[in-house]
Structure 1
Amino acid sequence: MAHPIAPAAVTPAITPISLKAIAPWALFVGILALVLLYFVGAEQGAFSVIAGEDVHEWVHDGRHLLGFPCH
């Protein structure tokens, strides 16, 4: 009985991503992280952008988890 010859395995070519293509996404993620850090860490009292306690209550546990004091 003849054994069939298996076709050679094809390896996909890995193309590098240029810094010019990554830069806008890195900037977007960085700004998003800073905004999130602001709302978790400083959105209360004198620095408040949004009036009231709603944002403070939504991020209260995250604030303590990250080590920000709030009381």
Structure 2
Amino acid sequence: MNQHKETSVRTFRRTEAGTAALEDKNSGLSVEYRRILEQVGKRDGLRPLLSSYSKAQIVEWLGQ
């Protein structure tokens, strides 16, 4: 009997545009979006930073 559950893991990476927006202090990015972009691509990913937000809210942010 296989007791291991398969899980779907998404890996995100920061685009060149995302990096440029993060590095530009006048880009107009909100503090929340800056925090997200800072975490994209890190080993632990977004989970630790965003654990207090709903999955729906996170998906909406990532879609932007």
**What TM-score range do you get, normalising by the shorter chain?**
under 0.3
Q: Rg bigger for which structure?
A: 1
State the TM-score, normalized to the length of structure 1: 0.25
